Amino acid sequence: MRKFAASHAALLAAAFSLASCAGGDGAGGDEAAAGGPPPMPQPITMAQRPDATGGEAKYVEYCIMCHGPNGMGTGLLGRRMEVSLLEARDNLTAEYVITAARMGIGNMPAIPRGEVSDEDLQAIADYLAAGPHIEAPAGGPQ
C-alpha cells in the first residue's frame, strides 16, 4: 500500500511537469499571434506553372512539394544554406543533384528509379544546374 502511494505521487509529479511544459508552448503561440499569422502558402503545382516543360516540369512534378516556398526541404536547407530554394541556387551541379536524390541526403529520403526515372532525374538535374531560375526571396530563407 505504501509502495502504491509513492508511485502515485511520482505519476502526479510527472503529470504536473508535463502541464507546465504545455504552458510554455502556449506563451510562444501568443507571441506569434501578436504579429498575425503568416498567410497560408499556396502549394505550387503545374496549375501555377502551366508553361513549364522538360526538367522544370519534372521538378514541379517530383520535387517542388518539398522544395518550394515553405516546403520541408526548403525549411531544412535554410538552416545550412544561404539560398534555400533549389531553383534560386547558382551553385548546384547535375552530379550533386542526382547523387543527393538517389542516395538521399540528411532528412531527404532517397528517390528510387521506380519513382523518378534516370531520364527525368537527369532533366531535373540539368535544369537545376543551369540556375538560378528564380530570385532568392528577399529577407532570407522562407
Residues near ligand HEC, by CB under 6 A: 62-63, 65-67, 72-73, 76-77, 81, 86, 96-97, 100-101, 105-109, 111, 116, 124
Query: With b meaning 16 or more CB within 10 Å and e meaning fewer, what string describes 42-80?
Result: eebeeeeeeebeebbbbbbebbbebbbbebebbebbeee
**Smallest gap from residue 35 Cβ to ligand HEC (A):** 26
Minimum Å gap between C-beta 125 and ligand HEC is: 7
CB of 5 to ligand HEC, least distance (A): 48
Q: Nearest distance from residue 78's CB to ligand HEC, in Å?
A: 9
CB closer to ligand HEC, 53 vs 107: 107
Residue 48 or 112: the one with the smaller Cβ distance to ligand HEC is: 112
Question: Measured from the CB atom, is 14 or 103 closer to ligand HEC?
Answer: 103
The nearer residue to ligand HEC, 106 or 140, going by C-beta atoms, is 106
Query: Nearest to ligand HEC by Cβ — which residue?
Result: 106
